[in-house]
Amino acid sequence: MADELDVLESAALAELRELQTLSQLEAWRVRYLGKKSTLTSALRALSALPPEQRRTAGAHSNAVKASLQSEYEARKQELSLSTIGESIGGACLDVTLPGRALPIGRLHPITQVIQEICSVFARMGFQVIDGPEVEWDYYNFEALNIPQDHPARDMFATLWLDSSEDRNARLLRTHTSPMQIRIMEEHRPPLRFVVPGRTYRYEATDATHDWMFHQVEGLAVDSDITLRDLKETLFEFCRSIFGRDTGVRFRCDYFPFVEPGGEIAIECFQCRGGGCRLCGSTGWLEILGTGMVHPDVLARCGIDPSVYSGFAFGMGVERITILRYGVDDIRHFYSGDFRFLRQF
């Protein structure tokens, strides 16, 4: 009896694997699992056996039945899936036809880079705020140690709204640094801020210069901030943005509102420091200007420079974007050419 069932099971399973349609499967089910099937009769016959035999024979029959049942379910699943195509008309879909398109929107590359820069600094505890683009001479120059007739005014060709002779003249900010003053006037240390925004210069445009561009300004002021903190923070920034292995250089530089002042450059990723056209054969790409907030600037904002110190920095977003993506012409950014914008 037990042998009989085993033979039955292997025959049924072999047959099952050959089945191709759901109707064949149904016939199989009736034959092996239906009311008139051998297995059902065998189970029915159990009651005639003595109790001892009944237990072992019953367990065996039930196991065979369970096995056939589960193989049946699995096969049914397979056949249902493979016959779906037939049920909806017999033909398969051309899955290579384009899907119904959703319109694809994108952020401007400059917005993307600003957000990336700000989020790196946000991770280091800097808050993001905005500031005005139309500024007073005082905030853009005077309060930053660049009074009238200071030679450093040459560094900033300015678009004026009023006569540049006027001490209360308004102008389009030439850098985001005026926000250093506005922040320090309004808040007391400890301070950590970044300020992204538009800036303007009186400048003829060509492939590498535009009169409107974006900067991200940064400011940190506290009682124990040093040049070393500056270097550590900004090196971390460069490596976050340009890659952990990027070589970074910190050198002395001059901006009237910082002292000591500096500049941070990254290793040219085109020539790896050997010198090429991109880096002007120096092997380095200047990324940002920085320095310790000048004691006169702190004092002007009512912060005691003998107690507090801080660092500030400013970077050009277009420059970073151009370097990052190898953009060949800065004027593409504001031309609105879809062929350009779609690539980011």
Please, which of residues 146-175 interact with other proteins by CB under 8 A?
148-152, 154-155, 159-164, 168, 170, 172
Q: Near other proteins by CB under 8 A, which window of 23-31, 34-42, 49-57, 232-240? A: 232-240
Shortest separation between residue 89's beta carbon and other proteins, angstroms: 18
Pick one of other proteins, Zn ion, none as the site partner of residue 341 (Cβ within 5 to 8 A by kind): other proteins
The verdict on 95 binding other proteins (CB under 8 A) reads: no
DSSP states of 319-342: HHHHHHHT-S-TTHHHH--HHHHT
Structure tokens at 299: 């004092």
Whose Cβ is closer to Zn ion: residue 196's or residue 283's? 283
The binder of other proteins chosen from 140, 174, 176, 233 (CB under 8 A): 233
Q: Near Zn ion by CB under 5 A, which window of 43-51, 215-223, 275-283, 334-342? A: 275-283
For residue 170, the 8-state DSSP code is E
The verdict on 271 binding Zn ion (CB under 5 A) reads: yes
- Asked if 174 and 156 touch (Cβ cutoff 8 Å), the reply is yes
Of 117, 254, 255, 305, residue with least CA distance to 194: 117
The verdict on 281 binding other proteins (CB under 8 A) reads: yes
Whose Cβ is closer to other proteins: residue 48's or residue 95's? 95
**Total residues at the site for other proteins (CB under 8 A)?**
95
Q: Near Zn ion by CB under 5 A, which window of 202-210, 221-229, 240-248, 262-270? A: 262-270
- Asked if 57 and 46 touch (Cβ cutoff 8 Å), the reply is yes
Structure tokens at 180: 């250093």
The binder of other proteins chosen from 8, 212, 271, 278 (CB under 8 A): 212
DSSP states of 181-206: HHHHHH-PSSEEEEEEEEEE-----B
**What does the CA dihedral 49, 54, 58, 59 come to, rounded to 10 degrees?**
-160
The verdict on 337 binding other proteins (CB under 8 A) reads: yes
Instruction: Tell me: cis bond preceding 295? Omega within 30 of 0 counts.
Output: no
Shortest separation between residue 256's beta carbon and Zn ion, angstroms: 30
Of 139, 164, 162, 176, residue with least CA distance to 288: 176
Whose Cβ is closer to other proteins: residue 24's or residue 115's? 115
Q: Which residues bind Zn ion (CB under 5 A)?
A: 268, 270-271, 276, 278-279
